Amino acid sequence: MSWQGIIHTYRQYLPFDETVRVITLNEGNTPLIRADRLAETIAPKAGLKLYLKYEGLNPTGSFKDRGMTAAITQAVHEGAKTVICASTGNTAASAAAYAARAGLRCLVLVPEGKIALGKLAASLAYGAEVISINGSFDEGLDMVRDIVTRQPIVLVNSINPWRLEGQKTGSFEICDQLDGRAPDWHCLPVGNAGNITAYWLGYQQYGKGLPRILGGQAAGAAPIVTGQIVPKPETIATAIRIGNPARWRQALQALDESGGIITAVTDADILASWSLLAKLEGVFVEPASATGLAALKQQIEQGAIDPVGKTAVCVLTGHGLKDPGTAVDQAQPPQTIPANIDALEAYLQQRV
C-alpha cells in the first residue's frame, strides 16, 4: 500500500483520539542514504557506516513536516481557527502548508532579514500572514508564547507537545531502515532543541536500541555548549540562529541519558561539511543541516569519537533549495562562452 504519512503509519505510537481528521501531506518515509565516500573522507579506513537521513525531502523541504502534521491535526481536532509560530523559516513554511490544507488562518513571526529566501517564498505562497520582526527568533518566540495566553490562537512551535509526537517518528524510520536497530551515533543540528528532544523520545519508545546523541551548534549560537544564553546569536546557518532554546533542559537530558556530546562548530566547519555533502554524495542541503556532520567530523578528528566499525546517522534537516543565496555566494559564478562548438572545444582545452 502506498505511504500515507507518519500519523497513518505510526498511529499506535501516537496519542491521538480515534476520531481525529488527519491533516497530512504524506510526509515522512524519507531516504536513509549510505554515504561511503563521505565516510572514507572523515574517517579513512575505519569502516565507518555513515548514513544520511535526508529530511529535506519532506513535502515542504524540511523535517518540520513530521511534527506539523501532528500539531495541525490536533489543533483542528480541538476546534482551532488560527495558528501561530515564531520561526527562522522552516517551521513557518511547514505551518503555513498544513494550515492551508486544514483551512486555518496562519500567522508566522520571522526575524527580519534573517530568513532564507526559499522559506520566505514558500510561507507567502501557502498564504500565511508573514510578520517580520525587528528582533531575533528568541524574541519572536516570547511574543507568540504571550499572545496565545490572550487570544484564541494555537501555538505550533515545538513547545507544543504534539510537534514532538510527530517528530519522534524520525527515530522509528531510522531503526526500520537499519533493519530494526538504532545506530551507534545519531548526529544532528541543535537550535531550539525540539528535534533532539523528539528523536530521543522516539528511540526510547520504539525499543530497538538507543544511540548516543551528538548535537552540533553553530559557534556563534551555542548556548547549550557554553551554558549561557546568547543575546545576539549569529551564524550563516540562519535556521539555528537561536540564543535561548525552548527545550534546553530536555536537550541536556537527552545528551545525559544517551551518553551524548554537544559541541560547537564554526561557520567555516559548517560550510566545509555542506560542501562535502553536495560534492561527494550529491546531497544538497541548507547550511544548518550540515552541522551534525560537521560535529561528527570534528569529534572524530579530536579523538572523542572512535569511528571504527560504527554506524552513524546524520540527520539532514532541510533541503538546499531553502537557501539558494548561500549556495550561490559560496560558488564561482558560471563561465560564459560564445554559443558555438569551437568555444566549447577551447573551454575543454583550457581545463585539461
| Residues at the interface with ligand F0G (CB under 6 A) | 62, 64, 87-91, 158, 189-196, 239-240, 286, 288-289, 317-318
CA–CA distances in Å: residue 87 to residues 95, 137, 352:
10, 6, 47
Q: Which is nearer to ligand F0G, 53 or 64 (CB)?
A: 64
Q: Which is nearer to ligand F0G, 153 or 190 (CB)?
A: 190
Nearest in space to 213 (alpha carbons), one of 253, 173, 172, 177: 253
**Residue whose C-alpha cell is 560504527:** 310
User: Least Å distance between CB 75 and ligand F0G?
Assistant: 17
Nearest in space to 70 (alpha carbons), one of 191, 202, 243: 202
Q: Which is nearer to ligand F0G, 62 or 326 (CB)?
A: 62
Q: Which is nearer to ligand F0G, 123 or 299 (CB)?
A: 123
User: Least Å distance between CB 337 and ligand F0G?
Assistant: 36
User: Least Å distance between CB 167 and ligand F0G?
Assistant: 8
Query: How far apart, in whole angstroms, are the C-alpha atoms of residue 285 and residue 292?
Result: 12
Q: Which is nearer to ligand F0G, 158 or 299 (CB)?
A: 158
| Long-range contacts (CB closer than 8 Å, 24 or more residues apart) made by 98-104 | 98/23, 98/25, 98/65, 98/68, 98/69, 98/71, 98/72, 99/72, 99/126, 99/128, 100/126, 100/127, 100/128, 101/23, 101/25, 101/72, 102/23, 102/72, 102/75, 102/76, 104/72, 104/75, 104/76, 104/80
Is the Cβ–Cβ distance between 213 and 255 less than 8 Å? yes
Q: Which is nearer to ligand F0G, 49 or 322 (CB)?
A: 322
User: Least Å distance between CB 87 and ligand F0G?
Assistant: 3
Query: How far apart, in whole angstroms, are the C-alpha atoms of residue 167 and residue 53?
Result: 13
Q: What single letter denotes the amino acid at residue 152?
A: P
Q: 291-301 vs 267-281: helix axis angle to the nearest 10?
A: 100
User: Least Å distance between CB 113 and ligand F0G?
Assistant: 15
User: Least Å distance between CB 132 and ligand F0G?
Assistant: 14
User: Least Å distance between CB 58 and ligand F0G?
Assistant: 11
Q: What single letter denotes the amino acid at residue 90?
A: N
Nearest in space to 51 (alpha carbons), one of 274, 254, 204, 277: 277
Q: Parallel, antiparallel, or unpaired for β 32-34 and 49-54?
A: antiparallel
- CA torsion sign for 298, 275, 271, 58 is negative
User: Least Å distance between CB 139 and ligand F0G?
Assistant: 13
User: Least Å distance between CB 78 and ligand F0G?
Assistant: 22
Query: End-to-end alpha-carbon separation of the chain, Å?
Result: 51
In total, the chain counts a number of residues equal to 352
Q: Which is nearer to ligand F0G, 62 or 298 (CB)?
A: 62
Q: Which is nearer to ligand F0G, 43 or 315 (CB)?
A: 315
Q: Which is nearer to ligand F0G, 194 or 202 (CB)?
A: 194
